[in-house]
Amino acid sequence: MKLNEKNLYSNSKKINIINNVALIDFFGHDFLGKVGIDFRIFKALAKKKISVSFVVQGSFEKGIGLVVSADDADKAGSALCKEFREELNKNEVYQIVVDKEIAVVSVTGENWKTFYNSLNALIKNNIIPILINNTTSGNNVTLVLKKNEAIRASKVIHSEIFKENKKINIAVFGHGQIGTTLINQILDSKENIESKKHIKLNIFAVANSKKIIFNQNGIEKNWNEELKSNGLHYSINDVIDFSKKNHLENLIAVDNTADKDFVKNYVELIKNNFNLVSSNKVANTLSYGFFQEIRQALKTHKKRYLYETNVGAGLPLIDTIGLLHLSGENITRIRGVFSGSLSYIFNNYSIKNQLFSEVLEEAMNLGLTEPDPREDLCGNDVARKLLILARELDLQNEITEVAVQNLIPNELRELSTAEFLENIDILNSYYQKIKENQEAGSVLRYIGELSGDLQQNKGCLEVKLISVPANSVLGQLKGSDSIFEIYTESYGLQPLVIQGAGAGAKVTARGVFGDILRLT
């Protein structure tokens, strides 16, 4: 049989892709102990002068797979249907199916005992062989795959058996402060990572909300100018199609947007072989049904979704809580200062003889708040972060169930940004009263708190301004740091405390970068 055979690599070990082949799937009732089934199959094919490349038979002899030339496939199918007409009528043979959309990847010189590494890498890339065959010597392995997966599969196998640096193909969506910082961090450190960790980070796409640039071999340091001048309008399908056309393996989509619409692409990306890393909190705070839909897609397609920076920027908070919960630790309460901007405001306002408006303006000038600081003061961001932690504990709360104390007086809520900033002094008397009504030696902190019976389906989620002793863990917080107290049965009255920089483009980007490397 003449096959379109392409030797991809030269070495004592070789990987060949064989095209122009077809799979005959012969499946029926238990053939165990029935003499002559194989003989009849090969006799029927021999009469038509059809050569069989190789055969794989199920361990319980219910199915037989035969690889033949694609040119002979229809003839082979007809011959077998004719030979087993009676068994087909009696439903003893269930089906004889011809599949021409397959290819064979042949690995020569690879020991079957070590091939499991390659097989595991294939599965991680959502490439599931239809059939696997190996010789009795164990030094040759043959895989039947979908035709459109053959080149990608050969790349994955080649990387494993020749111990090459693993190539990770990354698409970055969003290039604001966090996205731009992340891209530059990757470009600056990629050579060092490849040298020390044998991982080749390849950013093949960068996109904003409207345009995208592609480069199969990786973007360069002038990517921002190229996006402005040569960016293409796109949909998520263009990204998926590019990855398929170029047979890209080990795919990661990184979402550094804050876009509630972009997260609707997550499931489609997962279905098309992308792992996900995200600093975007939206996907984890939409309806619990959508939250579960993403998890089901991840499970079905064997993909991962990492989002450590959703709460606490670069702090190892979500991972710590997840591991405690997974180990069976009963977490009884979580509370903390979730917002770096509000941390700075109340840490300074509590101890300095300044007007609230002056401290707020300082935070704005330092870039710690949103352009309209009411987006921080309303408490919604803290509510979303608190909900994410609740869902890490398998709680089914919705965002509408978070009790949020809005720090903006009613008369300032409906104004334009400019009008609000003109009337910012109204905040002074409001917060001066709160400050004066504290007990001596106390300070103000804006916290999120998760409490209640956390072994049930839902917990109690509150976002509020509280007064705490200045010498307490929360009271000693400085600068714009975040702090989280995790109370568990094992730790008793002494909580596990995680504290550090909880905001900022550099630490958030570094946290996203860490999630990317964890996936590799």
DSSP string for 87-117: HHHTTSEEEEEEEEEEEEEEEES--TTTTHH
**Which residue range forms the structural domain that includes residue 445?**
318-503
Mean pLDDT is lowest, of 59-63, 202-206, 211-215, 441-445, for: 59-63
Question: Which one of 129, 161, 193 terminates a domain?
Answer: 161
Same domain, 272 and 373: no
Alpha carbons 461 and 392: distance in angstroms, whole number: 14
Same domain, 116 and 211: no
CA distances from 402 to 220, 321, 338, 396, 484 (A): 44, 20, 14, 12, 18
Of residues 155, 166, 303, 385, which has the active-site annotation?
Answer: 385
Alpha carbons 365 and 350: distance in angstroms, whole number: 19
385 catalytic per annotation? yes
Same domain, 345 and 479: yes
Same domain, 416 and 373: yes
Provide the pLDDT for residue 136. 59
Same domain, 345 and 480: yes
Question: Which one of 146, 161, 176 terminates a domain?
Answer: 161
Contact 249, 167 (CB under 8 A): yes
pTM comes to 0.83
* pLDDT tens sequence across 20-61: 999 998 887 765 556 778 888 889 999 999 998 878 765 445
Same domain, 236 and 367: no
Residue 130's CATH number:
3.30.2130.10
Same domain, 435 and 338: yes
CA distances from 434 to 26, 346, 364, 475, 516 (A): 79, 12, 22, 16, 44
* pLDDT tens sequence across 447-496: 999 999 999 999 999 999 999 999 999 999 999 999 999 999 988 788 99
* pLDDT tens sequence across 321-380: 999 999 999 999 999 999 999 999 999 999 999 999 999 999 999 888 888 999 999 999
Residue 450's CATH number:
3.30.360.10
Same domain, 89 and 63: yes
Same domain, 293 and 331: no
Same domain, 154 and 81: yes
Residue 215's CATH number:
3.40.50.720
Same domain, 210 and 284: yes
Question: Which one of 119, 140, 161 terminates a domain?
Answer: 161
Same domain, 201 and 133: no
- Which residue in this structure is represented by tokens 């509510």? 383
Give the number of domains in the chain: 3
Contact 3, 18 (CB under 8 A): yes
